[in-house]
Structure 1
Amino acid sequence: MSPWWNEYAGDIIWVGVGLTVLIAYQIALAWCVRRNPRCTIQSVNRQARTLWVQHIMEEPSLRILAVQTLRNSTMAATFFASTAVILVIGVLNLSSEADKLAESWHTLNGIGSHHPGLRAAKFMVLLADFLVAFFSFAMSVRLYNHVGFQISLPPSSRPPGVSPEHVAKHLNRAGAFYSVGMRSYYLAVPLVFWLFGPHLMAVASLVLVAALYFIDRIAPDAAED
């Protein structure tokens, strides 16, 4: 075997296992939604948001409720976007101290590489993950603001492009970006464990998929109604 493989085999195998588990779960989730559009909480929320927009725009008296609901969603997305920026700064600061912490981090890393270049790559992946979270939540805030203006227009003042279907599409896009941001936060868990060893990353991925299964799924009786 080549020296390159001996150095990185542990990380390639175990990180590959972790990524395979995470990707397989997302494929299974997409397949479930394809079979039954109401088998996950995300798909049910998409339908609920569409119906909610139609109901709000048909009842002018509910505009205050709509603005309050969108304000709560905007505040939540803003909080997570701000947290992502703080985490990005934290990762950058931590990477500058990596050489001092490397010995303690590798205490449990018996099968992974200790090469400084790989350690830098780990920080880059973690940094990219938090940047994706920031971008997703920022886009979610942007779309929530657009929906706030569009949904409160009286029927007589709406331009042709502002229909319940159009507004619901914007709201569902905001929800999709919010979901991507949360998924990025979840993904940070196995990435952090990767700093301590690739086998820990694989175990964390399995635990994360088990947790996501209970977070994403809908009760069978509710999904079949």
Structure 2
Amino acid sequence: MEWKDWYLDVIFVPSGFLIFVSYHIWLWRRVRSQPFTTTVGRNARGRRFWVSSIIKDNVKKDIVAVQTLRNSIMGSSLMATAAVLLCGGMAAFFSSIKEPMNGGHGEFMLALKFVAMMALLIFSFVFFSISIQIMGQVNFLVNCPVEEDSTPEYLTELLERGFSFNMVGNRLFYAAVPLLLWISGPLLVFLCCLAEVIVLYTSDFVLLEDRKVQAQVYGNGLC
């Protein structure tokens, strides 16, 4: 396999994933330093208040708590199932390919695409499974009497851990999409990563119109 056959893969594929990874590193730093400029930080704050509200009025809101957590578990279960089905589908698809498609340059590149895609989907399934396990534990503890093992602080930490694993599973699932397009050429990988970053930015960060609210939050020392 000559350099001219695969140099585009070396340029576009790492560049696309470098943009994807760099965006998430920047997002993580913003969540740690300025949480209320991101939807991740604001949602975490809302879940903290939700746990306190449920525990304070547990008699009236016990069913609401169980239904809310059940919906979150169902969402994670759906994504975990999708990841497993895609793994099986990709395994059947790649095993049926006898000749490389457009953008493939031999058995090595085909195997690399298959292993990379399967690794992301399998890890995505693992993170979703851990999230389901943690959310199930929260579902049991949220209606228990407030004791040392089920304090609001512990439940909030457990709930945030479950949503964190769910978010990582989602992002790994999204990262597998460009690899799916890699079978048609490396340029599509770069364009897909760029498009995903743009779409994720619009959902991960708050609009500039909310700066006054952010200033009030920081001024009150709630962050």
TM-score, with structure 2 as normaliser: 0.88
Per-residue deviation at 1:58?
1.4
The aligned counterpart of 1:123 is 114
Per-residue deviation at 1:88?
0.9
The aligned counterpart of 1:71 is 70
Per-residue deviation at 1:28?
2.2
Correspondence 1:12 to 2:10: yes
The aligned counterpart of 2:203 is 215
**Cα deviation digits, residues 151-183 of structure 1 (max 9, x gap):** 10023xx3x232101011111111111111211
The answer for unaligned runs of 5 or more in structure 1 is: none
1:68-107, aligned counterparts within 5 Å?
A: 68-100=67-99, 102=100, 105-106=101-102
The answer for unaligned runs of 5 or more in structure 2 is: 214-223
Per-residue deviation at 1:74?
0.9
Q: For residue 87 of structure 2, what is the amino acid of its counterpart?
A: V
Residues 37 and 116 of structure 1, relative CA distance in 2, 3 Å threshold? same
Secondary structure in 2 aligned to 1:69? helix
Two-structure CA RMSD over aligned residues (Å)? 1.7
Secondary structure in 1 aligned to 2:184? coil
Distance, in Å, in 2 between the alignment partners of 1:137 and 1:30 is: 20
Distance, in Å, in 2 between the alignment partners of 1:42 and 1:152 is: 26
Distance, in Å, in 2 between the alignment partners of 1:188 and 1:196 is: 14
1:136-175, aligned counterparts within 5 Å?
A: 136-155=127-146, 158=147, 160-175=148-163
Secondary structure in 1 aligned to 2:35? coil
Residues 190 and 223 of structure 1, relative CA distance in 2, 3 Å threshold? farther
TM-score, with structure 1 as normaliser: 0.88
* Stretches of 4+ aligned residues off by more than 3 angstroms: 3-8
Distance, in Å, in 1 between the alignment partners of 2:116 and 2:211 is: 36
Distance, in Å, in 2 between the alignment partners of 1:26 and 1:184 is: 11
